[in-house]
Structure 1
Amino acid sequence: MVTGSTLARRALGRELKKLRDAKGMKQSEGGRIIGVSPQTIGRMEDGLPTKVSDLYINALCDGYGANDEQRTALLELALEVRTMAKSGGGWWRAYADELNVGFDHYIGLEEAARKLVIWRGSVVPGVLQTPEYRRAIAWTESPALTPEQVERRVQMAMQRQKRLLDPDFTVEVVLSEFVLRDQIGGPRVVADQLRKLAEIAQLPNVTIRTVPFDSSGHLGSLVGPFALLEFPKLPATGLIEPPVIFVEGFAGDLYLEREPELRRYRDAFTEISRVALDEDTTRQLILSIAKEHGQ
């Protein structure tokens, strides 16, 4: 699997921060070692795009007192980051102008993930959308977009969907029944989207289940939409990046990585799943609602 530079950057930043913390140094002290600002050290440690030359890595290893094994691992990660950057980055870079601020980071994580777990109380997740459904959402979100801009957003959504054909990529989705009945784009668009969901649900690596309206009280009513991403080993070092919870908001997104946060969302998904219909019953419900639209 090609993990791209996103995971390598995250792993590199995480390991550099561990070394700096172990040395009891502040970001400003790390910055002085290589002649950059504390903010640049912060970006590097957060896995955000910034220069990661061997000169910088070796200097930081010297300043932080890294051993040979740690130095080798960091240099391999830095090489992985630069190699991906030279290739132009991920496919989503071509759609950068159409992405909400920061969403390219999520796309990079999704492309690198080995497992994606999703809870949605409204709107079909992007990775499962039909072109017409995605088009309807784009016009609703941003009525001022040009037709060309909308079509680029549709193209990007379809590109994301190619990951579903990767047998090493597992997707587990739980949707509120409201998602199936919400009239985004009108009856024909919704009916087509539902039939697409039923089709995708038959893939061996995809599970789609529904929480019906008549379920008793459950956490899904209180927990907003979120995605849990888990990652494979990095090819260069064998390191495994910790899971990430992605919470998409109207005014901004959250990335949660601390163990208490992860545990809370995992527990919430377990509780929501407990009241969800099984896969076969969900598929029957999806097709039944599509048929109700008379399409």
Structure 2
Amino acid sequence: MVGSSLPRRALGRLLRSYREQAKKSQLAAGLHVDLSPQSIGRIEDGQKVKLCTGQIRDLLELYGVPTEGGERDEMLALWQEVKDQAYAAKLAGTTKGWWQAYADQYAPHFDHYLRLEAVASRLTTHQMVLLPGMLQTPEYRRAVSQIAYPNHPEVDIERRLELASHRQVRLADKNFRVEVLLSEGVLRHTPGGPVVMVDQLSHILELAESRSNVSIRIVPLNAGSHLGLIAQSFTLLEFPPLANRLIEPPIVYVEGFEGGLYLERMDMIDRHRRAINDIQRVALTEDDTKQLVRQIAKECTA
């Protein structure tokens, strides 16, 4: 967790909440601590901004955060955690995420997702068309990349494969729980052709059998009505508690052809949780999923 963005995100979220309760603008907050409104916005978004403890204290004073009850002390403890992690990251040489070395190979909005994925303790994804990146074989990923970027040079495609491979390292972390809910249609699509898909299906079986922290279940095409048909593809990311027992709220990520959406409102999170429950209701068991995967693999080789 060295360099984790979670404490910084929690600090920013709480500062925004206190500022809004105090009915102060970002301009007023910035003027009070000699920062631009844009810097206040970046702090509240959990991004890195050069700050000192005195400025944090001044913001808490401006927002009227009470000293009694421990609220102000909790905020200062959270700020200390942010500083401690920044120092630890500097010592470890990890002030930037590993993925930023591949920033030229993904859309700008995806940097935020990679930060979240790197520190999530649980990931639940429902996919209707393609396998999620964490499950893709190199040749499957290559085929998808060539569809999306037909004119990219081979060196760029190879760097995309490296990025995907780095992301998959997290699957070896037993404290990282992954639940994958796939429409049967995902296995029926064959980017790269049948040979690529047979290898990909074998990889799914291997993951399902070797990773106790990974659950893969298929929603058959004849499953009938369920909320997944309306919710479509999405990923729910959940996070471990912080050292001061604060809970970082989950986030739903929805990726589209032109960009990504990050949903944080609790009513939206609750709707997607209901969708997950309904999808789980109609999904095959893990054992039946393996049987269907083997059956489709045989059909691909016929």
TM-score (norm 1): 0.93
Give 1:266's aligned residue: 273
Unaligned runs of 5+ in 1: none
Give 1:217's aligned residue: 225
In 1, Cα distance between equivalents of 2:134 and 2:32 = 43
In 2, Cα distance between equivalents of 1:266 and 1:64 = 34
Q: Which runs of structure 1 show a deviation greater than 6 angstroms over 4 or more consecutive aligned residues? A: none
**1:42 CA displacement:** 1.4
The code of the aligned residue for 1:276 comes to A
**1:188 CA displacement:** 0.9
Give 1:159's aligned residue: 166
The code of the aligned residue for 1:70 comes to E
- In structure 2, the residue corresponding to 1:100 is in which secondary structure? coil
**1:272 CA displacement:** 1.4
In 1, Cα distance between equivalents of 2:75 and 2:130 = 46
In 2, Cα distance between equivalents of 1:206 and 1:244 = 20
Give the alignment partner of residue 199 of structure 2, picking from 192, 196, 211.
192
In 2, Cα distance between equivalents of 1:83 and 1:286 = 47
Q: Contact between 2:136 and 2:200, CA under 8 Å: does it hold in 1?
A: yes
Cα deviation per residue 1:258-279 (whole Å; 9 max; x = unaligned)? 1110110000111111111110
Q: How many residues align structurally? A: 293
> Which range is displaced more, 174-183 or 56-65?
56-65
Cα deviation per residue 1:30-83 (whole Å; 9 max; x = unaligned)? 111122222221121121333333343233234334435134224214304533
In 2, Cα distance between equivalents of 1:280 and 1:261 = 32
Unaligned runs of 5+ in 2: none
The code of the aligned residue for 2:108 comes to V
- In structure 2, the residue corresponding to 1:4 is in which secondary structure? coil
> Which range is displaced more, 51-60 or 31-40?
51-60
- In structure 2, the residue corresponding to 1:108 is in which secondary structure? helix
Asked if residue 37 in structure 1 is aligned to residue 36 in structure 2, the reply is: yes
> Which range is displaced more, 44-53 or 100-109?
44-53
Aligned runs of 1:39-118 on 2, under 5 Å?
A: 39-66=38-65, 67=67, 68-80=72-84, 82-83=86-87, 86=90, 87-118=94-125
The RMSD of aligned alpha carbons is: 1.8
Q: Contact between 1:212 and 1:276, CA under 8 Å: does it hold in 2?
A: yes
The code of the aligned residue for 1:225 comes to S
In 2, Cα distance between equivalents of 1:164 and 1:130 = 14
Asked if residue 283 in structure 1 is aligned to residue 290 in structure 2, the reply is: yes
The percentage of aligned residue pairs carrying the same residue is 46
Give the alignment partner of residue 233 of structure 1, picking from 219, 241, 245.
241
In 2, Cα distance between equivalents of 1:264 and 1:43 = 28
Q: Contact between 1:164 and 1:206, CA under 8 Å: does it hold in 2?
A: yes
In 2, Cα distance between equivalents of 1:18 and 1:40 = 16
**1:27 CA displacement:** 1.4
TM-score (norm 2): 0.91
- In structure 2, the residue corresponding to 1:222 is in which secondary structure? helix
Aligned runs of 1:241-260 on 2, under 5 Å?
A: 241-260=248-267
**1:251 CA displacement:** 0.8
Q: Contact between 1:54 and 1:78, CA under 8 Å: does it hold in 2?
A: no
